[in-house]
A and B are shown apart, each in its own frame.
Chain A
């Protein structure tokens, strides 16, 4: 298995970043002609999702997620965490991460990722700004 990490310094509290070009570059670097690629975030207040890369949809997604997990609710997660020695102020990030999940898969045929014309891979930040790591795993021959 060929594994690489994409590192991102996010700049906003919530942001959606298209990472398709980085994933394609790692697939090409792997030399795998036929197989599968998995893109997986290493964090619990982020997501990986596949959608159409349009500004209007990005706005709608952010609004829909904020309706699902509004900032001003009395969340149980708002408390000091002894394991961290710091306050947990990111319940909305954890909840938004539920909806987008932590990974996606694509087939690889003839060295290319097989994806629909409207499909792009998004890294979703829900508790930024932060330093983030995304694993890209390429399997096959």
Chain B
């Protein structure tokens, strides 16, 4: 089972019937010239990458630019390919109805976890206003995937996404599984520190800000930290993620398998850890 835990479906054809909405997504995400993708193309891409399932992440910034990809749209996509897609929810913590929307996403829409981007909504992860949201995730045993580290999206401030900003959340909510996306790049060592200290902290490999996939992964996962740190100590907390369409899913999926991890570690990174993080696939 090979799972990509970090995929943004903003340009999937079934949720881009309105050209104005597609234009908004290009501008608000700063992703251009890519067009929209029919699901058949997504499935071809998955087959070339060897992927079995994609975790689809919505983006609710209703307190500023709007809800770019809604929970309802994620449900629609999952229903079109339930054997291939896993759906997450998103809420804007600044939205007075955030808690009601999250309850609805977990109960009626049956979404599997929550995606949050502190840097885009300018709310620190440990801000007290986040506590009701964390409480709902704990109540329903749903994980949170946070954007961590550099964000290419407009109007983002990296200070809100620095891995150390998440320590109080990890420490204060030991039963809440949280993923610091993108390995918290460039703070790879800080992300590793949090994972070795807190077993409820995960990360994903959705980073490719320089060079090609093999070169960047070699730097990030074998030089910025030695490969042994993951292979021996963090092997149950690292998940494959591509951050597609920002980054290259097929080449990243190939590169992660060429770094020199033990076969059993690769199995964890490529799928087993994601299943654990999600609380199962059912």
Task: Verify B251–A89 contact, CB threshold 8 A.
Answer: yes
Task: Verify B38–A131 contact, CB threshold 8 A.
Answer: yes
Task: Verify A130–B41 contact, CB threshold 8 A.
Answer: yes
Q: Which residues of A line the B interface, CB within 8 A?
A: 9-13, 72, 74-75, 78-80, 83-87, 89, 128-131
Task: Verify B31–A86 contact, CB threshold 8 A.
Answer: yes
Overall SS of chain A's interface: loop
Task: Verify A80–B34 contact, CB threshold 8 A.
Answer: no
Q: How far is the CB of A132 from chain B (nearest CB, A)?
A: 10
Check if B63 is an interface residue, CB within 8 A of chain A.
no
Question: How many chain B residues touch A (Cβ–Cβ < 8 Å)?
Answer: 30
Task: Verify A78–B211 contact, CB threshold 8 A.
Answer: yes
| Residue ID in chain A nearest B251 by CB atoms | A89
Q: Which of B226-279 contact A (CB under 8 A)?
A: 245-248, 250-251
Residues on the A chain within 8 Å of B214, using CB: 72
Residues on the B chain within 8 Å of A12, using CB: 48
A9-B41, A9-B44, A129-B44 known; A86+B246 contact, CB < 8 A: yes
| Residue ID in chain A nearest B29 by CB atoms | A85
20 inter-chain pairs at a CB distance below 8 angstroms, sorted by A residue, are A9-B44, A11-B48, A13-B48, A72-B214, A78-B211, A78-B215, A79-B211, A80-B209, A84-B33, A84-B34, A85-B152, A86-B245, A87-B208, A87-B209, A87-B212, A87-B248, A89-B251, A129-B48, A131-B35, A131-B38
Residues on the A chain within 8 Å of B213, using CB: 89
Q: Which residues of B line the A interface, CB within 8 A?
A: 29-35, 37-38, 40-41, 44-45, 47-48, 152, 208-215, 245-248, 250-251
A85 vs B31: C-alpha distance when bound (angstroms) = 5
A10 vs B245: C-alpha distance when bound (angstroms) = 17
Q: How far is the CB of B193 from chain A (nearest CB, A)?
A: 27
A75-B212, A80-B209, A130-B41 known; A87+B247 contact, CB < 8 A: yes
A79 vs B213: C-alpha distance when bound (angstroms) = 10
A129 vs B48: C-alpha distance when bound (angstroms) = 8
A87 vs B242: C-alpha distance when bound (angstroms) = 12
Residues on the B chain within 8 Å of A79, using CB: 210-211
Q: How far is the CB of B24 from chain A (nearest CB, A)?
A: 14
Q: Besides the contacts A9-B38, A128-B48, what 19 more A-B pairs have beta carbons closer than 8 Å?
A: A9-B40, A9-B44, A10-B44, A11-B47, A12-B48, A75-B212, A78-B212, A79-B210, A80-B209, A80-B210, A85-B32, A87-B212, A87-B246, A89-B208, A89-B212, A89-B248, A129-B45, A130-B41, A131-B37
Residues on the B chain within 8 Å of A131, using CB: 35, 37-38, 41
